[in-house]
């Protein structure tokens, strides 16, 4: 276990910059998830922590020691790869014990530690099998086993669940969380799946185009996204964003959508009237009732516990999550009332949160 410190990290491939200065402090035992769309630089950042990519500038420290020039093997880290990268010519036990063998550990100690890790991950019956004889989920477990056998300072996970089917992924996700609660090893986890990020992380780092957009606890990001990118990326279905103009006269302040619809807000904003803003409201914070904003139903999607209604408010399509078990017809008009305490407002020009 060890803290990890990432200071002003930049990465460029030739003249093409991919990471533009990332600062990140990871506390001892913390589970940090780097999340963002493909190509945002999250995997590159993880690989730089692992020592598999050169650092263009900045510093990475593990347990207080700057490791910029240290080889991966000198960093005391363990990594789980997206494709598992199990050695095809070694059986499960050999795969798991490989790193200890390299350290010239006592064979009896290797067996003990492999068995202990195998017990944690229910791999005991598979120890003699080769990777080609395992299912995707079992391979994933072996890859995790290989990491935990080493008892490293830091675990690095590079989209470890993305090759599994949906059901297995949910199961493994819970297993990873309980594993972390048990081992309490500092973990950096990369994913593009915001649900994985929300469920696993102590701290989420949202990245986009090589820049950190926001760092915070999952619910902090959900409740107070710093900008429109985080607002739309975190949460599923994602937040509704409607453009409008901040209107504040003598009476109540509101956001006037482009077709003239008034979108209510809780108080006054700290921006001049007439400023273009983006009005954000999460689908579950729109409450259907007999009064409120008129919305024309476009598509009705029942998902079981709840239903997603795609409707038009002002000139924007929005999603409303309803739990009233009623089927809505396309063309029907419903009335939705935004929960004013949960309205998010962003500047149109900068995309940043203003209220």
Partner 1 sequence: MTSKSRSLISKCVITAFCGLLVLVYLFPYTWMVMTAFRSPVDSFERPPKFFFQPTLDGVRYLFEVVEFNGYLISSTIVTLVTVLATIVIAVPAAYAVAHVEKNSKSFLIFILVARMIPGIAIVVPVYLLASQFRLLDTYQVLVLMNIAFNLPFAIWLLRSFFIEVHPGLREAALVDGCSEVQVLTLVMSPLVLGGIMATAVFVFIAVWNEFLFALVLSGPHTATAPIAVLGFRTAFGIQWDSMSAAAFLISAPVIVFAFIMQRYLVQGLTMGSIK
List interacting residues with partner 1 (CB under 8 A): 50-52, 71-73, 77-79, 81, 83, 85-89, 98-99, 102-103, 146, 150, 156
Instruction: Provide the minimum distance between the beta carbon of 186 and partner 1 in the complex, in angstroms, as a whole number.
Output: 15
Strand order of the β-sheet with 203-208 is 77-80, 154-158, 186-191, 31-35, 203-208, 211-216
CB atoms within 10 A of CB 248: 17
Instruction: Provide the minimum distance between the beta carbon of 41 and partner 1 in the complex, in angstroms, as a whole number.
Output: 18
Question: DSSP letters of 140-196?
Answer: HHHHHHHHHHT--SEEEEESTTTTS-HHHHHHHHHHHHHHHHHH--EEEEEES-HHH
Q: Which is nearer to partner 1, 121 or 277 (CB)?
A: 121
Let me know: does 70 contact 18? Beta carbons within 8 Å. Answer: no
User: In 3-state terms, what secondary structure has residue 23?
Assistant: strand
Let me know: does 136 contact 115? Beta carbons within 8 Å. Answer: no
Instruction: Provide the minimum distance between the beta carbon of 254 and partner 1 in the complex, in angstroms, as a whole number.
Output: 54
CB atoms within 10 A of CB 251: 7
Q: Which is nearer to partner 1, 43 or 228 (CB)?
A: 43
Q: Which is nearer to partner 1, 23 or 54 (CB)?
A: 54
Residue in the block written with tokens 């710093």: 226
Q: Which is nearer to partner 1, 154 or 205 (CB)?
A: 154
Q: Where are the alpha helices (DSSP H) in 29-154?
A: 42-50, 92-102, 107-120, 136-149
The phi and psi torsions of 146 (rounded to 5 degrees) equal -60, -35
Instruction: Provide the minimum distance between the beta carbon of 339 and partner 1 in the complex, in angstroms, as a whole number.
Output: 46
Q: Which is nearer to partner 1, 13 or 335 (CB)?
A: 13
- Identify the bridge partners of residue 318 per DSSP, sorted by sequence position: 311
Instruction: Provide the minimum distance between the beta carbon of 350 and partner 1 in the complex, in angstroms, as a whole number.
Output: 38
Instruction: Provide the minimum distance between the beta carbon of 193 and partner 1 in the complex, in angstroms, as a whole number.
Output: 20
Q: Which is nearer to partner 1, 146 or 282 (CB)?
A: 146
Q: Which is nearer to partner 1, 149 or 322 (CB)?
A: 149
Instruction: Provide the minimum distance between the beta carbon of 201 and partner 1 in the complex, in angstroms, as a whole number.
Output: 22
Contacts of 163 (CB under 8 A, 6+ apart): 82, 83, 84, 136, 140
């Amino acid at each position: 276990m060890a803290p990890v410190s990432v200071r002003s990290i930049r990465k460029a491939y030739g003249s093409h910059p991919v990471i533009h200065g990332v600062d990140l402090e990871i506390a001892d035992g913390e589970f940090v998830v780097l999340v963002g769309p493909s190509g945002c630089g999250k995997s590159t950042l993880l690989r730089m922590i692992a020592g598999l990519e050169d650092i263009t500038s900045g510093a990475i420290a593990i347990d207080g020691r700057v490791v910029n020039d240290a080889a991966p093997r000198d960093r005391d880290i363990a990594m789980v790869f997206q494709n598992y990268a199990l050695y095809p010519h070694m059986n499960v036990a050999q795969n798991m014990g490989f790193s200890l063998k390299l350290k010239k550990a006592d064979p009896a100690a290797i067996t003990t530690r492999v068995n202990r890790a195998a017990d944690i991950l229910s791999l005991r019956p598979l120890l003699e099998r080769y990777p080609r004889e395992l299912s995707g989920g079992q391979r994933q477990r072996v890859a995790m086993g290989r990491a935990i056998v080493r008892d490293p300072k830091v675990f690095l996970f590079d989209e470890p669940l993305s090759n599994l089917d949906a059901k297995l992924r949910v199961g493994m996700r819970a297993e990873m969380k309980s594993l972390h609660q048990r081992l309490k090893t500092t973990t950096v986890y990369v994913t593009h799946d915001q649900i994985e990020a929300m469920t696993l992380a102590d701290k989420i780092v949202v990245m986009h185009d090589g820049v950190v957009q926001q760092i915070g606890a999952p619910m902090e990001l959900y409740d107070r996204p710093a900008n429109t990118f985080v607002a739309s990326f975190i949460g599923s279905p994602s937040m509704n964003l409607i453009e409008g103009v901040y209107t504040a006269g003598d009476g109540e302040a509101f956001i006037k959508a482009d077709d003239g619809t008034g979108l209510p807000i809780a108080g006054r904003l700290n921006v001049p009237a007439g400023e273009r803003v983006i009005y954000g409201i999460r689908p579950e914070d729109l409450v259907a009732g007999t009064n409120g904003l008129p919305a024309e139903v476009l598509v009705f999607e029942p998902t079981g516990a709840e239903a997603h209604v795609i409707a038009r408010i002002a000139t924007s399509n929005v999603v409303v999550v309803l739990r009233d078990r009623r089927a809505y017809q396309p063309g029907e008009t419903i009335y939705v009332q935004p929960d004013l305490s949960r309205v998010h407002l962003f500047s149109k020009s900068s995309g940043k949160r203003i209220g």
